[in-house]
Each structure stands twice: as structure tokens, then as C-alpha cells.
Amino acid sequence: MNKREGRLAKQNKLRQLLLSSPYVLWSIGFIILPLVMVVYYGLTSRDGGGFTLENLKLIWEPTHRATLILSVQLSVISTILCLLIAYPLALALRSLRLKSNGFVILLFMLPMWMNFLLRTIAWQNILEKNGVINMLLSAVGLPKLNIINTPTAIVLGMVYDFLPFMIIPIYNVLSKIGDDVIQAAADLGANYFQILWRVILPLSKPGIVSGLTMVFVPSLTTFVISDILGGGNILLIGKVIEQKFKMANDWNAGCGLSLVLMVFIFICMAIVQKYDKDSEGTSVW
Amino acid sequence: MVKRLIQKGYIGLVIVFLYAPILVLMVLSFNGSKYRSKWGGFTFKWYHELLENEKILNALWTTLLLALLSALLATMLGTLAAVAMNRMKKLPKAIMMSITNIPILNSEIVIGISMMLLYFAISFSLGFTSVLLALTAAHMPYVILNVLPKLRQTSRSTYEAALDLGASPVFAFFKIVLPDIFPGVLSGFMLAFTLALDDFVITHFTKDAKVSTLSTVIYAETRRGIEPEIYALSTIMFTVVLVLLIVMNRMKASAAKKLAEQQK
């Protein structure tokens, strides 16, 4: 009997190994190893391949530093704007009391079926000198706005493209908060703002955190939005990296700058991990 | 009452914001002028010319194929991975969970660059397969995160009962576990497909000159002006998806109604 149990346990172990190994191997090959390559290129010199910190120091060059600062500024602004737009929206959606989350997620995912480059290009039409907004403004006799090819246009593009990534995680968390919790707070004498500040907000923290990172990281690293709405004269750090690979063919410099960006990304990951312990990442989507 | 009106108005406002560019693109697909910023009268011309534009149709085919194959691969491997992770002990599970989160939190440009460097290091030539694998790797974590919560909700005892009754583990998985987790698998697949369809950055870094998707064609044309046929194609794609979703929703609703009547 004991022998048989031992064999069964062994069999189970083998089965688990067989089941786990494909993904473990896959993630080593396609997640870990590629990142190791970035670190390797980022820390070696272009000619010869010895260890060097030169590629990392590139970020301190005045032009690169200014680019990084501008990128951080614009992405922080658009992340905050996304939060300010998405949170009241998620609250309003919650109060509709829909039976399933499916509809809301669909509504905000559907635009993705139109290519995002095209949708960003469409903003040129809306924002440009003789575009939709200025046409409307002059129709009611207001002065024209000059938004296109400014940092404002880039921020608008970022908010537009990444807003769904803020809405969905926050809505997912809010829709799971039970009415009884809120009623309990109300019964104990809390007014609307106290309920919002001391009950709903703390409970929705995981959604907010994952929304913040889902917007901040792509905004920080985009090169497409600034290409299209910045008119090519506003350089963001993502564009600098892209040019190092596609134009200058200096992979080591590109990887060095990517490593600097990855520091920001890792900080975000650490924050998410901290808040994500019990939900095991499900709040991301 | 007023509060409700404000809430609904606000939701409407955000929806207008999100769908306004789509409306602009739809209008542009009927624009008689070749130039984006000039209105040249209403026309169906671009829809006719789309059928003869081989470059765009090829790009569409490649895009759909890449999205479908990468989503299928990501779904199969991701579901397997989720099943394996669900059974892991605490520490290995936590480690794998962190690794799974990397592609989600990482930026697309770093994913694209890192995959390109990997291909270069193992002298794997860039092309369709390299893009396919990169997209699969980037989107598999979304499948895993959609399947894992469903797996946690399924009861292990039903699966074990099937084993006791003589089912093989594989048979029991397809008969017992898969139907339970299927909603998660499906939404993971849809997410992976949508993300792959819309991808530009990862494709941009892992393709060679021969592969072109809709995104890469559009990006190449942003400076000198988009061919209006692309607006026509996107309008068709968007409308098809919209109609499909509405039909599916109707079908679901009527099926639910029927079921309710039967239960009466």
C-alpha cells in the first residue's frame, strides 16, 4: 500500500513537472532572456564589447536629459488627467448597476478595433488650424486655438489612447464593492464625501494603482503619438531610443537608454506588486 | 434625479471623446478629396479602389493572420500555463506570477527591442515567424490572468471524481475543467486578438522589410498622407465588428429569455 502511494506521489510530481515545464521554459526564453540581452547591450561598448557605463551616461547629455524630463512631465500630466477623468466615470458606471461587466469593457475596448495610429491621426483633423474644433469655435465667434504640434496635443493623444486602460481596472474594482458596505457607512452617519473618501477610495486602491501604471508606462515610452501629434519637432525619450535602433544603428546606446527607462518601469512594477498581493494581478484587466 | 442626469451626461461625454476620431475616420472614407484636410464631396470611390489595392489587402491579410495565430498560440499556451501555475506551491507560483506580470507592465518598445536582440543573438532571421512569436510572448500573460481566477473558482473534487471514475487527466480536463473556465479562456483570446490586431511597436522592431501589417503601412504613410482606401477598410472592419457584437448580444438575450420561459 505504502509503495503504491509512493508511486502515485511520484507520478503526480512528474505530471506537475510535465505540466509546468513548457511555460517555465517559455518564460525563460521569451521573457527573461530578451531582457538579459538588453542589459548586456546596455552595459557593453559598441566596439569590442567590454563592460562600460557610457551608454547609461548618455542620459546625462543635455539634449537627452531634457528629452527625458519632458517625457516624464507629459506622461505624469496625462496619467493624472486619465485618473481624474476615469474615476468619476467608473463611479457613474457603477451606479448604473449593470448586470455584467462585459458591456462596459466592450464599450471601452471597441475603439481598439480601429487602428490606434489612425485614431491618433484623426486627432490631427480635429485639432488642426482648420480642423473640427476650430471650425466649431469660429462658428460661435470664438478665437481659434493653436493646439496641434504642441505638447498639449501630445498629452491629449496620450489621454485619448490610454484612457481605457485606466477606466477598466478602476471600474472592475468599483463594481465589486458591495452595496452593504456603503449602506453600513451611511447608517453609521457618514455623508457622501466621507463614504467616498474613507470607504470607496481605499477599497479601490488596487484598481487605481494598476490603472496608473497601465497609463504611465506606455505614455512615458511612446514614440508614435509625438510623431503624429507633435509634428516631429517635439522629441520624447521613446523616439530617441527608436532612432538609435532604426536610424543610427547604435544598439548599445539604445539599450543603455532603455535601461534608464526600465528603472522607471521596475519602480512601477514594485508598487503594483505591493498592492496586488491578494488579487494576484486580476485587477489589471 | 439631477445627479443621475449629470452621471449619464458625463458617461456620454467620455464616450463622445473616445468615438469622435472614429467618426472622423468614417467621414474621411467618403471624402472625394485625396487629402485629409480638404472635403471634396461625398464618394464611394475609395471602397471600390480598396478592392484593387493589393498592398493594403496584403497588409490586411498579414495583420489578421498574425492576430489570429498569435492569439490562438497565446490562448493554448497561456491556458496550459495557468493550469500549471494553479497547482504550484506558493513560492514557485509567486515567482511565475511576477514573471508573468513583466510583459504586461513592460513597455512595448522594450519588449520589441529585447525580442529583436534575442533573435539577433540566436541568428533567427526576422520575418513573419519572428513577429508571431513576439506577439504571442507579449500577449500570453493577459490570457493567463484571465484564466487563473476562473480556475480558482472551479472545484477540484469534480475533476478528481472524474479521475476516480476512470477518466484520464487529459480527458477529464477537456470534459470537466475546460467548460468551467471557458469564459476566461474566451475573453483571454479576444483580448490577445484585439491587442495583436492593434499592435504597431512590437511588429515594428521584430519584422523585416518583407512583412507589412496595416499598422506598419499606416505608420509609413503618416508623413506623406494616408491612402484613403485605408479609411474605407477601417470603416468596414469597425462596422463588421460592431454588427457582430450587436447580433451576438441579441442572440444571448433571446436565448436567456427562452430559457426563462422554459423554466416557467
DSSP secondary structure of A161-189: HHHHHHHHHHHHHHTTS-HHHHHHHHHTT
Give the count of alpha carbons within 13 A of A230, CB side only. Answer: 19
Q: What is chain A's alpha carbon radius of gyration, rounded to the nearest angstrom?
A: 24
- Alpha carbon distance A168, A189 (integer Å): 31
A49 interface with B at CB cutoff 8 Å: no
Residues of A in contact with B237 (CB under 8 A): 113-114
**Domains of chain A and any CATH numbers:** 62-284 (1.10.3720.10)
Residue type, B49: E
A–B CB contacts, 8 A cutoff, strictly below: 223
**B228 vs chain A: nearest CA distance in angstroms?**
11
Residue B144: CB atoms within 10 Å = 29
pLDDT tens for each residue of B165-218: 988 888 988 988 999 899 899 989 998 999 999 999 999 999 999 999 999 999
A17 contacts chain B (CB < 8 A): no
Which tens digit of pLDDT belongs to each residue from A245-268?
999 889 999 999 999 988 888 887
Which residue carries 475596448 as its cell?
Answer: A109
Question: Whole-angstrom Cα distance, residue B31 to residue B231?
Answer: 10
Please answer yes or no on whether A272 and B242 come within 8 Å at the CB atom.
no
Q: What is the pLDDT of residues A21-70, one digit of tens each?
A: 999 999 999 999 999 999 999 999 888 778 888 888 888 889 899 999 99
What number is the ipTM of this complex?
A: 0.86
The single residue listed with the C-alpha cell 477540484 is B156
Domains annotated on chain B, with CATH = 57-225 (1.10.3720.10)
Rg (CA), chain B: 23
What is the average per-residue pLDDT within A9-22?
84
